[in-house]
Amino acid sequence: MIQVFFNALAVGLGIGTLGLGFLLVYRPTGVFHVSAGAIYAAMPFLLLELGTRGAPLWLSLLICVAFGIGISCAIEFFNHRRLGIGLSQTSAHLLSSLGIYIVLTQLVVIVWGPNVRSLRVGQDHSFRLGLLVATRAQILEITIQAVLLLAFAALLKFTNIGLKLRALMQNPSEMALLGYSTQGFRLLAFAISGVFVAVVSLVNAYDLGFDPHGGLPAIILAIAAVIVGGRDSFLGPVAGGLLLGLLRSLAVWFSPKWQDCFTFVLLAACLVFLPNGILGYSRRVKAP
Amino acid sequence: MNFLFHILAVIGIYCILSWGYALVFRLAGMLSLAYGCYFAIGAYVYALGVRHLPFFPLLLIGVASATAFGMVEAVLSWRLKGDFLFVGSLALQAVVYSLALNWVDIGQPPGSWSNLTNGAFGLPGLPRPAIFGITLDTESGYLALVAIVVIIGFCVYRNLVFSPWGRIVEMSRDDELAAATLGKSPRSLRVGVLLVAAGFGALGGMLYAAQTGFVDPDVAVLSQVIAILAMVATADLLGSRSPVVGAAVLIALPEALRFARLSSTYAANVQVLAYGLLLIGVAHVSRTRSARTVRPHEANDR
């Protein structure tokens, strides 16, 4: 059972971090940032490419994260900002985001091919601690994602930028009325989302391998974490991610092939019966 | 000539699928990706029943099965709208794909209860349908069947869109409060649209399975419904009321790429890339009215 919880932590933190990246964009902008799936798919290929061209690992990692930020900001600047702000635009944002995901993913396939690849050479080293067996990739995954989440929590709690990000998430209209540049902070939200997506993508690619079509499933899991956990606070996606991680780890013991099925049945059930998520606030539902 | 008949039949099948999806996306303004589920259900019903039942009863069973599954999406649409309906529909699509891929037991015969879909190996060797004792095993004969279904489908689609029901659905899409004020239930209208669209999807899926003679989990992949979405979006982009134009353009695209001597390795990717560009294009072109084209008479009213 300890092993199940450990595996759940490794998987769940990744889903939760991605969910946080998604929520960071969704709450203030209303944009379903599906195109983040393309960033998720492209980053490991870029790292591998830089590695084969002889770039040192630290530089390759920095370039990958910078690319993640750049693409995410470009998507906001050239697409979502031009589509306008407002509820009536949501379909247009979603449609264009899906379109960008498709275009970027196909470009990845054309440039780097459709095959499954791995960032790791050979079998991973594993450690035994009593009943628990942990691989090096899992320890790396948990450590990096936990540090990233803690750094983000510190940014939110102790810095002026964090305060403004929270304000943007709570009420972007009022923030604009107070004279702050919401467009600048929207861009910042997309940039931080890009960091989260790039880092989780690289860490997961090191553990499980990667392929060009892995982006959308990862983002759908992130959306599931946001919905299951609740979209009213930054803790929601992390809690949702951990719950999904546990469910998926338990599903592996039952039958690995039904992992996705269980996840999406839970997602659909949450959407219908618990639309505000486990950490969400109850609110009055608008009449149709 | 057979190749031309084959292409025309595929265009016809995608026309039927596009009309169904146009009801959901254009008429009711719902961005749902579960439409691929109805297509897949239709295809699998055909594959499982073609050797046991005549074509028309099978057609009815396929449409009824998809409509029954449509009730699941209807439950979602009862509670959800907009982006969250999109996520719910994506979850349904993933569940159906997972079922198609994993409902397999290699030791059992394909099509049996424990090996219903035969997983990734699919159900091959499907015969063409026989109508009144005549097996439509030539491309021209099969095209004739598709043409008849297309004509019936077009009449149904057109009558639905321009009926009082269609106009109420359109009004409900634009202003739910106004529809509710007039005593119409926007939720019931959305459910009605989804169930009708499920029928169109199943019909397309059955014809597709009969055309290709093979069904595997690829019929339930996301790219199928994205292709149909792109067809409806293309018609919007070109200012056409009917998605036929979109279906014709996007089915002809791979053939054009073949004639352009593009490497077959990349042709499929370029095709999907074009779908993506179309989606971006239609989102930007129609951004003023929530991802749909403003019709000329509506523009004059403003």
Question: For residue A82, what is the nearest residue in chain B, using CA coordinates?
Answer: B284
pLDDT bracket for residue B148 (50, 70, 90): very high
User: Rounded distance, CA B290 to CA B91, Å?
Assistant: 23
If you count residue pairs, one on A and one on B, with CB atoms under 8 Å apart, how many are there?
139
Contact B98 A261 (CB under 8 A): yes
Give the closest-approach CA distance of A210 to chain B in angstroms: 18
Contact A96 B280 (CB under 8 A): yes
Q: Find the chain A residues whose C-beta atoms sit closer than 8 A to any C-beta of B.
A: 30, 32, 79, 82-84, 88-96, 98-103, 106-107, 109-110, 216, 220, 223-224, 227, 257-258, 260-261, 263-265, 267-268, 271-272, 275, 287-288
Strands (E), B114-199: 130-131, 134-135
User: Rounded distance, CA B158 to CA B196, Å?
Assistant: 13
Whether the pLDDT of residue B92 is over 70: the answer is: yes
Give the closest-approach CA distance of A255 to chain B in angstroms: 10
In this predicted model, what pLDDT tens digit does every residue of A145-168 receive, in sequence order? 999 999 999 998 999 999 988 888
Average pLDDT of B89-117? Answer: 87
A23 — phi, psi (to 5°)? Answer: -65, -35
Strands (E), chain A: 126-129, 132-135
Contact A271 B176 (CB under 8 A): no
Identify the weakest region by mean pLDDT among A121-125, A126-130, A284-288. A284-288
> Which among B141, B134, B97, B117 is positioned nearest to B47, based on CA atoms?
B117
| List of residues 6+ apart from B242 with CB closer than 8 A | B19, B235
Radius of gyration of chain B (CA): 19
Chain centre to alpha carbon of residue A85: 23
Identify the weakest region by mean pLDDT among A80-89, B23-32, B94-103. A80-89
List Cα–Cα distances, B293 to B72, B109, B131, B280, in angstroms.
Answer: 29, 49, 40, 14
Q: What is the ipTM of this complex?
A: 0.86
B105 in a structural domain: yes
B35-49 and B55-79 are packed helices; what angle lies between their axes, rounded to 10 degrees? 150
Chain A residues within 8 A of B84 when measuring between CB atoms: 227, 271, 275
User: Rounded distance, CA A23 to CA B220, Å?
Assistant: 28
> Which among A22, A67, A28 is positioned nearest to A44, based on CA atoms?
A67
User: Quick one: pLDDT at residue A273?
Assistant: 83
User: Rounded distance, CA B48 to CA B109, Å?
Assistant: 12
Average pLDDT of B263-285? Answer: 81
Mean pLDDT across chain B: 84
A64-80 burial: b if 16+ Cβ within 10 Å, else e:
bbebbbebbbebbeebb
Give the tokens for residue B172.
């409900």
Average pLDDT of A167-188? Answer: 87
User: Quick one: pLDDT at residue B32?
Assistant: 85
- Give the β-pairing of B134-135 and A132-135: unpaired
User: Quick one: pLDDT at residue A288?
Assistant: 43
Whether the pLDDT of residue B259 is over 80: the answer is: no
Q: Is B28 helix (H, G, I), strand (E, B) or coil?
A: coil
B269 in a structural domain: no
Nearest to B266 among A90, A95, A110 (CB): A110
In this predicted model, what pLDDT tens digit does every residue of B167-208 receive, in sequence order? 999 998 888 888 888 888 888 999 999 999 999 999 999 999
Q: Is B106 on the interface with A (CB under 8 A)?
A: no
B195 in a structural domain: yes
Give the tokens for residue A163.
């305060």
User: Rounded distance, CA B31 to CA A279, Å?
Assistant: 27
User: Quick one: pLDDT at residue A114?
Assistant: 86
Whether the pLDDT of residue B129 is over 90: the answer is: no
Chain B residues within 8 A of A288 when measuring between CB atoms: 176, 180, 185-187
B275 in a structural domain: no
User: Quick one: pLDDT at residue B131?
Assistant: 83
pLDDT bracket for residue A89 (50, 70, 90): low
Which residues in chain B (263-292) have CB-CB distances under 8 A to chain A?
A: 266, 269-270, 272-273, 275-284, 286-287, 289-292
The total domain count for chain B is 1
- The pTM of this model reads 0.83
pLDDT bracket for residue B122 (50, 70, 90): confident
Which residues in chain B (3-32) have CB-CB distances under 8 A to chain A?
A: 29, 31
Average pLDDT of A237-260? Answer: 85
Nearest to B275 among A32, A102, A257 (CB): A102
User: Quick one: pLDDT at residue A287?
Assistant: 45
Question: For residue B91, what is the nearest residue in chain A, using CA coordinates?
Answer: A264
B103 in a structural domain: yes
Contact B31 A79 (CB under 8 A): no
User: Quick one: pLDDT at residue A192?
Assistant: 94
User: Rounded distance, CA B20 to CA B149, Å?
Assistant: 13
Give the closest-approach CA distance of B289 to chain A in angstroms: 7
Question: For residue B172, what is the nearest residue in chain A, using CA coordinates?
Answer: A288
Contact B284 A92 (CB under 8 A): yes
B246 in a structural domain: no
List Cα–Cα distances, B233 to A3, A98, B244, in angstroms.
Answer: 48, 13, 11
Residue A279 identity (one-letter amino acid): L
Nearest to A271 among B84, B180, B270 (CB): B84
Cβ–Cβ under 8 Å, residues A222 and A23: no
Average pLDDT of B119-127? Answer: 87
End-to-end alpha-carbon separation of chain A, Å?
45
- Could you tell me the maximum CA-CA distance found in chain A, to the nearest angstrom? 60
Residues of the domain holding B191 = 2-220
Q: Is B79 on the interface with A (CB under 8 A)?
A: yes
Question: For residue B176, what is the nearest residue in chain A, using CA coordinates?
Answer: A288
Question: For residue B101, what is the nearest residue in chain A, using CA coordinates?
Answer: A257
Give the tokens for residue B255.
């053939």
User: Quick one: pLDDT at residue B291?
Assistant: 42
B87 in a structural domain: yes
Q: Is B71 on the interface with A (CB under 8 A)?
A: no
Chain A residues within 8 A of B176 when measuring between CB atoms: 288
Question: For residue A87, what is the nearest residue in chain B, using CA coordinates?
Answer: B290
Run of H or E including A279: none
**How many residues are present in chain A?**
288
